[in-house]
Amino acid sequence: MAVEICVKAAVGAPNVLGDCPFSQRALLTLEEKKVPYKMHLINVSDKPKWFLEVNPEGKVPVIKFDEKWIPDSDVIVALLEEKYPNPSLSTPSEFASVGSKIFPTFVSFLKSKDASDGTEQALLDELKALEEHLKAHGPYVNGANICSVDLSLAPKLYHLEVALGHFKKWSVPESLSHVRNYMKLLFERESFQKTKAAKEYIIAGWAPKVNP
């Protein structure tokens, strides 16, 4: 029987997959493990009553296991690993935090209106750390096979590419060739192509945060 999962619908297009990186992470895990699933698209600006009843906190993603709805992508990914161990996507503990500061530093730089406030450099420092990691261990975070950290980073790096390209005409420097190759490898995967949000919805999602 297919697993049921609630994910974000696109803003202004409730029948289209939306721009939530945590939802995409859960979908990527299902796709990579080839677990059949039924997706419910949730309009987060007008949440359905049934959704709030099963998930009072109201965040997506939530997944239904054994008649119970479970929120939070960290918990969902851990549960999927436990229930569907093959192929294994588990990440060795020493690599668990690789790239973990990229998303918050990207968001600070994206929202910044002051070119000298250090937010661009902070993001570059995090991307350089990822570059060094991939140079030593790549092409994925744990070597030849994709793992859970890659599936968490992939949607975030996609938001970074789309939003910084659009709002700041900024892209990952060519000198960070391992990071650029990593992004290409991730974005080309079938699982990613199937679960990604359209660029227009990613831009629409960030617009109110960039220009509040």
Ligand X SMILES: N[C@@H](CCC(=O)N[C@@H](CS)C(=O)NCC(=O)O)C(=O)O
Any idea which residues carry the catalytic annotation?
A: 20
What CA–CA distance (Å, rounded) separates 54 from 58? 9
CB of 60 to ligand X, least distance (A): 4
Nearest-10 crossing angle of helices 102-111, 119-137: 150
Residues facing residue 71 across a β-bridge: 62
Helix (H, G, I), strand (E, B) or coil at 38: strand
CB of 133 to ligand X, least distance (A): 22
CB of 138 to ligand X, least distance (A): 25
Encoded amino acid at 4, one letter: E
What CA–CA distance (Å, rounded) separates 203 from 119? 20
What CA–CA distance (Å, rounded) separates 91 from 89? 6
Compare residues 59 and 101 and give the one whose CB is closer to ligand X.
59
Compare residues 25 and 172 and give the one whose CB is closer to ligand X.
25
Compare residues 83 and 184 and give the one whose CB is closer to ligand X.
83
What CA–CA distance (Å, rounded) separates 157 from 141? 14
CB of 195 to ligand X, least distance (A): 14
Helix (H) or strand (E) holding 41: strand 37-42
Is there binding between residue 8 and ligand X (CB under 6 A)? yes
Q: Which of 5, 20, 163, 186 binds ligand X (CB under 6 A)?
A: 20
Is there binding between residue 64 and ligand X (CB under 6 A)? no
Instruction: Choose the binding region for ligand X from 59-67, 155-163, 165-173, 187-195 (rule: CB under 6 A).
Output: 59-67
Compare residues 95 and 206 and give the one whose CB is closer to ligand X.
206
Tell me the site size for ligand X, rule CB under 6 A. Answer: 11
Compare residues 15 and 116 and give the one whose CB is closer to ligand X.
15
Cβ(150)–Cβ(191) under 8 Å? no
Q: Which of 33, 59, 137, 180 binds ligand X (CB under 6 A)?
A: 59
Is there binding between residue 60 and ligand X (CB under 6 A)? yes
Is there binding between residue 30 and ligand X (CB under 6 A)? no
Is there binding between residue 58 and ligand X (CB under 6 A)? yes
Is there binding between residue 99 and ligand X (CB under 6 A)? no
Q: Where do the H-state alpha helices sit in the chain? A: 21-32, 49-54, 73-83, 102-111, 119-137, 148-168, 177-188, 190-195, 199-210
What CA–CA distance (Å, rounded) separates 124 from 9? 31
Residues making contact with ligand X (CB under 6 A): 8, 20, 22, 44, 58-61, 72-74
